[in-house]
């Protein structure tokens, strides 16, 4: 058993690929973005201003984040997997994830879980911070246009009305915030393999990653 780290910007296909690969290998997938989203969701529900560090620290000391057997994230025992997927939460998450006290708590949970190997973690800092010893590190990228189109299509499929230009702008802004924050910014680990998914189908990406993984197990 090995651990697999998949990092990259939002909507590059990390979670989709990680989920499929986990099924194929009988590994456990941890969507670390969902954990950061839970913190943003908790701050919204509790009406905490994102500049109020003291209140956020208190909140982080009290909340519990876990995953159920289906791999869906739970906040204080409540399944919030759907509630954390709004655009408002995405932007809020990118802001709250800049705080070291937020990251420290979540990184510890992720490292403790992955100790036993057989994990696929997707996020922004897995190969650089959380699992520096991961046997396979993938850095998944795609053009802003390809990613905005995918997100747009996802919303359309769910019957949600959205503006394509807003999605495009939000992706650009989130990229900027995630890549330029002081703590654990999104960047490719030196030993990560980069895959550009802009022109690839989901199956083509799964095949590429699984051929890399199969050489290591
Ligand atoms: O992957 P997802 O788009 O759900 O992540 C939401 C946000 O959570 C990202 O934009 C990023 O700010 C933050 N995040 C992070 N580190 C991770 C995973 C997500 O900072 N490992």
What pLDDT score does 160 carry? 87
Tokens describing residue 82:
């759907």
**pLDDT tens-digit readout, 105-145:** 999 999 999 999 999 999 999 999 999 999 999 999 999 99
Percentages helix, strand, coil for the chain, rounded to the nearest 5? Answer: 50, 15, 35
Ligand 1 centre to CA of 163 (Å) is 22
pLDDT single digits (tens) 137-181: 999 999 999 999 999 999 999 898 999 999 999 999 999 999 999
104's tokens: 């420290």
- Torsion sign (Cα): 9, 29, 196, 165: negative
Q: What ipTM did this prediction achieve?
A: 0.99
Alpha carbon distance 18, 47 (integer Å): 33
102 CA from centroid of ligand 1 (Å):
12
- By most ligand atoms within 8 Å of CB, the mutation choice from 16, 41, 93 for ligand 1 is 93
The answer on whether 100 is annotated among ligand-binding residues is: no
Quick one: which atom of ligand 1 is closest to the CA of 10?
3
The confidence band for 95, taking pLDDT boundaries of 50, 70 and 90, is very high
> CA separation (Å) from 2 to 121, 183, 197, 198?
12, 27, 24, 27
Strands 78-79 and 119-123: unpaired
What does the pLDDT average to over 35-42? Answer: 98
Task: Report the C-alpha gap between 138 and 130 in whole angstroms.
Answer: 14
Look at residue 137 and give its three-state secondary structure.
strand
Take atom 2 of ligand 1 and give the residue whose Cα is closest. 33
CA of 15 to the centre of ligand 1 (A): 11
CB contact at 8 A, 215 and 161:
no
């Amino acid at each position: 058993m090995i651990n697999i780290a998949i990092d990259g910007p939002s909507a590059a296909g990390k979670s989709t690929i990680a989920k499929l690969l986990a099924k194929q290998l009988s590994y456990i997938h941890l969507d670390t973005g969902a954990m950061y989203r839970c913190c943003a969701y908790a701050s919204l529900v509790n009406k905490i201003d994102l500049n109020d560090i003291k209140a956020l620290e208190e909140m982080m000391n009290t909340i519990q984040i876990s995953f159920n057997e289906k791999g869906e994230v739970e906040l204080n025992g409540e399944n919030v997997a759907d509630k954390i997927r709004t655009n408002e939460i995405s932007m809020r998450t990118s802001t709250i994830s800049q705080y070291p006290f937020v990251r420290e708590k979540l990184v510890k949970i992720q490292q403790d879980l992955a100790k036993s190997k057989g994990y696929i973690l997707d996020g922004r800092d897995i190969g650089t911070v959380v699992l520096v010893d991961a046997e396979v590190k993938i850095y998944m990228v795609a053009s802003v246009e390809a990613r905005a189109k995918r997100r747009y299509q996802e919303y359309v499929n769910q019957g949600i009305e959205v503006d394509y230009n807003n999605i495009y702008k939000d992706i650009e802004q989130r990229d900027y915030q995630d890549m330029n924050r002081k703590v654990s910014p999104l960047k490719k680990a030196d030993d990560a393999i980069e895959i550009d998914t802009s022109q690839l189908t989901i199956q083509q990406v799964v095949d590429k990653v699984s051929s890399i993984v199969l050489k290591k197990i």
